[in-house]
Structure 1
Amino acid sequence: MTFDWPDPASPLLIDGHLRRGGAGEFVTLNPATEEVLGHAANADVADLDDAITAARRAFDETEWSRDVALRAGVLRQFAKVLRDHSDELRELTVAEAGVPVALTYGPQLDLPVGYLDWYADLAESYEWRQDLGKAEPMGIPTRRWIQREATGVVGAITPWNFPHQITFAKLAPALAAGNTVVLKPPPDTPWCAAALGKLIAEETGFPPGVVNIVTSDDHSLGSRLVEDPRVDLVSFTGSTATGRSVMRTAADTLKKVFLELGGKSAYVVLDDADLAGACAIAAFTVCTHAGQGCALTTRLLVPRDQYDDAVEAAAGAMRRIKVGDPADKRTICGPVISARQRERVEGYLKLARDEGGKIVCGGGRPAGRETGFYIEPTLIAGLGNDARAAREEIFGPVLVIMPHDGDDDAVRIANDSPYGLSGTVHGGDLERARAVAARIRSGTVGVNGGVWYAVDAPFGGYKQSGTGREMGVAGFEEYLETKLVAEPA
């Protein structure tokens, strides 16, 4: 299949205009078929400089940052435009990101579009000014208030696994707060971002320079965006290794940094839980979108005396999950994004065997799928929590199952990780499950099937899973500065 939209002649959005990239074009592939979809504009350093210049000018010289009504109106307009084009965006997202189409009706497209409306409402109802009343510091009668205002130019750097969810989790609050944005999407899914740029330029009332979208296969452009002194805040989602680099680079200009990074989250099953049901949920979760989610629970911790039964239950559930075409509405586990990512997952499977682990099911490429970057749903047993496959983020449909010796030991293993992004506790007694969840050091925890994902719910991690929060009011306030104003009373 070859798309003729977005037009590769004009996929960069800079200062309100669509234009070609200074470095030509680069290829974008369908991960389910390995076919070339088409070409995306390849931005160069001059393009990035123009985008930052435009964002800086739009923030400094227009009323965007001070006009709440304008911002709310344009965000709602953009949401409507996106819904009007949802069929095209859905097809494009499935083809370029390998996203199972069923997920586009939820967190991969439809729900994130709603972020724009939610943050428009928040901007209108937010308490931008808080009166501190009168005081007499040093005997001087003074009236004081706290003013919340936009930070400035935001550099937003996004990954490929949830191209719309993560993009709108940055764009919606940043723009609602009054910032201007330079978006640098990943080279694996450039069309998902370029399509947004085309719609913004042609069908919305965003003032020029407020949103700029720069696609490129040159990873150094991301570093240039981070280091540029005209950029006031960097919002980055990606690997922990790259996040460290972003933080180091941003330190030179002491700009604000939000980092949403990796995870190796634990699914803790207590000894009074429905073992088979919990294991089935854990297996299904880790296979969703081929395991390409930072907050997925990829370590399954089960009671030691139920370990064999748990291995059998988890393996049975994983064997029932069929790898399939993401365009098929029955598919939940499609391809991984690229040949490079598949090789990375396969490297971890070899490493798990070398470390003494047993591949209970899966462990290879599915039969009958000679093309496409597919990996079988895989369960690994026999590893301790010190094994690399149990400690490092694999980003594939791979679950590591390990035994624990009671609640205290389960908490110890769950917290024995450089990450702290998410987690799950499953138990028969709700109060006991809550008590275990309260001891897990992670930014989100689900208890007995509770779902933490929602636009009003802040998301982020502890430890090396990142800094700050995305979504909710907390995510909105990441993009604000606090100013204290005082005048004679």
Structure 2
Amino acid sequence: MIRNCNILLRRAVNRSTLISRRYLSSEAILDRIKQDGLLCESSIIDGEEVYGSNTFAVQDPATGGVIGTSPDLSVDSLDQAIGSSLAAFKTFKRVPGSERSDMLTRWRNLILEYADDLAGLITFENGKPFNEAKGEVMYAASFLSWFAGEATRIYGDMIQPMSNSTVRTITMLQPIGVVGVITPWNFPAAMITRKVAAAIAAGCTAVVKPDSETPFTALALGQLALRAGIPPGVLNIVTTKSSLAEMGKMLCEDPRVRKISFTGSTAVGGLLMKQSSSGLKKLSLELGGNAPFIVFEDADIDQAVSAAIACKFRGSGQTCVCANRIYVAAQVYDEFVDKLTQAVRTFVVGNGFADGVTHGPLIHERAIAKVERHVQDAVALGGRVLVGGSRATGHASELFFQPTVIRDATNKMLITHEETFGPVAGIFKFSSEQDAIDAANDSTVGLASYVMTKDLSRAFRVAEQLDFGMVGLNTGLISDAAVPFGGVKQSGFGREGSKYGIHEYLTVKAVSVGGVVY
């Protein structure tokens, strides 16, 4: 069944009459989102609402309740979406950069207008506290602002002189074509805008396959994109649960798709790379992390604790740039551990819509089982739990885990070699600068890393030796639209955001002109 999206898009709401979130129940928030036309239980293909014969339930991890259903589409629908994007690309690539910039700006403004609705959807689907979800919405909007500016600054070069004095060469930057975008559940809004904004700014079209845990946020963004005047087919969003592998394979192997942008696990990234190899498809892969967080003896310990909390426990530890291994100099080890433990004791675990809650549930049972396994392994190998260490009981679902601090961690533990992706901070002790660098680099992945020190020479010396795509010096927050986001080693390649991000969606064409004479 297909209906025109404009049926819902014409619904208008006087935003000034909306009641503050803190006075609304979660049911009232969901009702408001529905009234605004932003709970879309259909995929979006060529500007139309597409309903499949099969659906899957989308659950709230905080309660286990069903938020709604989403179409469980097949590869036939994906084929239709790719065809729509290809048809749209033939005209959209010729749209002036200034017009693409205006589209992105209008989309950004609508996201800000409906920020509470989008944050509510994120809290329902993902479980993160509402204020944190609202922060993600602002972060998502920032990429639209950034790439709206970049859309008007796609410059080529003039190459002169050349070996042949009668020839001049100019370079053109042109959009690569249809882009396949595969996004994760942990940042269901920001991961879409970070990729799609760059693609649209470059003149590309996109087919998005959001994670089946969080499709509603993606579809709400798609609805707002249509309201912003982004043409049908430029952004298609296809949902599925039973055909995840088949759709990923099709995006990689279909010659109409010229690029894949994926955020997720290293294992899946490797599979997508293999599947894309026959067509030599351009890839951007932002994969797993195992971030070290190094606290030197000269660091401001209070600042280090605040930074560790910011990058370790955000999203209940479910971010790819989370501090996964916290290395602390022996001279300040006990002080840091004590202060971190005291801070973690103040955390409030619960439903993200409740006032005062700082940490929500984990996304699903597999996630919480992995966290339990890491804690049990650490304790068995000599680690000592100072706070937390088990599931948080007394909640509507069993997906809550107590924020945890474990001291006396060693490199024999699973938390050293696997990304925990949960609210567990293992604290390691080191005795020398080189020991800290060697321990930090002892990883097959290299996404984010963090260094806390007052010594400027040490800061640069250590940052240059860390084998990671990003280094935070005296900060636990490194993500920003202006910053190139990406890793090295098995954390993938390519950069998102920043002035470099748009180049992932462009090709360089050289045009040589002969017959120049004086």
The aligned residue for residue 13 of structure 2 is none
5 Å-filtered alignment, 1:244-283, equals 244-283=270-309
Check conservation: 1:11, 1:198, Cα contact below 8 A.
Answer: no
Query: Which residue of 114, 128, 131 maps to 1:99?
Result: 128
CA distance in 2, matches of 1:78, 1:344: 38
Instruction: Report how many aligned residue pairs link the two structures.
Output: 482
Residue 11 of structure 2: aligned partner:
none
How far apart, CA to CA, are the structure 1 residues paired with 2:292 and 2:328?
A: 10
- Give the Cα–Cα distance (whole angstroms) in 2 for the partners of residues 355 and 181 of structure 1: 48
8 Å Cα contact 1:100-1:329 kept in structure 2: no
Aligned alpha-carbon RMSD (Å): 2.0
CA displacement, residues 86-140 of structure 1 (integer Å, 9 cap, x when unaligned): 222121111111122112332x10121121122111111331x211135353xx7
Please give the alpha-carbon distance, in whole angstroms, between the structure 2 residues aligned to 1:54 and 1:350: 50
Return the offset for 1:85.
Answer: 1.9
SS of equivalent to 1:359: strand
Inter-partner Cα distance in structure 2 for 1:481 and 1:277:
43
Q: Give yes or no for contact 2:310–2:476 (8 Å, CA) kept in 1.
A: no
Of 108, 116, 120, the residue aligned with 1:79 is 108
Deviation of 1:404 after TM superposition, in Å, equals: 0.7
The one-letter code of the counterpart of 2:205 is T
Instruction: Confirm or deny: 8 A CA contact 2:253 2:278 kept in the other structure.
Output: yes
The answer for the alignment partner of 1:33 in structure 2 is 63
Paired residue for 1:400?
426
Alpha-carbon contact 1:287-1:332 (below 8 Å) kept: no
Q: Does 1:225 align with 2:251?
A: yes
Q: Which moved more, 1:93-102 or 1:275-284?
A: 275-284
Shift of 1:433: 2.6
Change (3 A) 1:303 1:167: same
Q: Is residue 67 of structure 1 aligned with residue 75 of structure 2?
A: no
1:412-436 superposed Cα distances (whole Å, 9 cap, x missing partner)? 1111111211111112323323322
Alpha carbons 2:293, 2:327 under 8 Å: kept: yes
1:331 aligns with 2:357: yes
Which has the larger displacement, 463-472 or 335-344?
335-344
Q: Does 1:135 align with 2:162?
A: yes
Would you say the 8 A contact 2:93–2:175 is kept in 1? Answer: no
Q: What does residue 447 of structure 2 align with?
A: 421
2:228 matches 1:204: yes
Query: 2:149 aligns to what?
Result: 121
Distance in 1 (CA, whole Å) between partners of 2:82 and 2:421 is 32
CA deviations 1:39-63 (Å, max 9, x no partner) are 112211111000011111111x314
Please report how far the alpha carbon of residue 216 of structure 1 lies from its aligned counterpart in structure 2 after TM superposition.
0.9
Q: Aligned match of 1:170 in 189, 192, 195? A: 195
Partner residue in 1 for 2:54? 24
User: What is the letter of the counterpart of residue 145 of structure 2?
Assistant: D
More moved, 223-232 vs 446-455:
446-455
User: What is the deviation of 1:29?
Assistant: 0.8
* Residues 385, 211 of structure 1: alpha-carbon distance in 2 compared, 3 angstrom cutoff: same
| CA drift at 1:484 | 0.6
Task: Confirm or deny: 8 A CA contact 1:102 1:330 kept in the other structure.
Answer: no
Cα gap change, 1:329 to 1:407, in 2 (>3 Å)? farther
Q: Structure 1 residues 347-356 or 335-344, which shifts more? A: 347-356
> Which amino acid counterpart does residue 78 of structure 1 have in structure 2?
W
Equivalent of 1:14, from 18, 26, 45? 45
What is the distance in 2 between the residues matched to 1:326 and 1:486? 59
- Give % identity: 36
After TM superposition, the structure 1 = structure 2 runs for residues 340-379 of structure 1, keeping only pairs within 5 Å, are 340-371=366-397, 373-379=399-405
Q: Distance in 2 between matches of 1:277 and 1:208?
A: 48
What is the alpha-carbon distance in structure 1 between the residues aligned to residue 407 and residue 163 of structure 2? 67
Q: Is the 8 A contact 1:15 1:212 kept in 2?
A: yes
Equivalent residue in structure 2 for 1:287, among 313, 317, 321: 313
- Could you tell me whether the CA contact under 8 Å between 2:45 and 2:80 is conserved in 1? yes
2: CA distance, partners of 1:476 / 1:83: 23
| Cα drift, residue 329 of structure 1 | 5.2
Check 1:365–1:392 CA distance in 2 against 1; reply closer, same or farther (3 A cut): same
* Secondary structure at 1:445 match in 2: strand
Alignment gaps of 5+ in structure 1: none
Q: Secondary structure at the residue paired with 2:151?
A: helix
State the distance in 1 between where 2:231 and 2:249 align: 26
- After superposing the two structures, state which structure 1 stretch, 43-52 or 436-445, moved more: 436-445
Match of 1:213 among 224, 229, 237: 237
Q: Which amino acid aligns with 1:143?
A: R
SS state at 1:379 partner: strand
Superposition deviation, residue 315 in structure 1: 2.1
3-state SS of paired residue (1:248): helix
Asked if the contact 1:268/1:301 (under 8 Å) is kept, the reply is yes
Instruction: List gaps (5 residues or longer) in structure 2.
Output: 1-26
Cα drift, residue 280 of structure 1: 4.6
Structure-1 separation of matches of 2:326 and 2:180 = 36
Distance 1:236 1:38 in 2: 26
AA matched with 2:233? G
SS in 1 for 2:157: strand
Aligned to 2:3: none
Q: Secondary structure at the match of 1:330?
A: coil
The DSSP-based 3-state class of the residue aligned with 1:252 is helix
Q: Aligned equivalents of 2:397 and 2:478: distance in 1?
A: 36
Q: Paired residue for 1:183?
A: 208
Q: Distance in 1 between matches of 2:127 and 2:79?
A: 32
Superposed displacement of residue 65, structure 1:
4.4
Correspondence for 2:137:
109
User: Per the alignment, in what secondary structure is the counterpart of residue 300 of structure 1?
Assistant: strand
**Partners of 2:92 and 2:203 within 8 A in 1:** no
Which residue is 1:320 aligned to?
346
Conserved in 2, the CA contact under 8 Å of 1:458 and 1:471?
yes
Once the two structures are overlaid, the 10-residue window that deviates more, 441-450 or 406-415, is 441-450
CA distance in 2, matches of 1:204, 1:308: 54
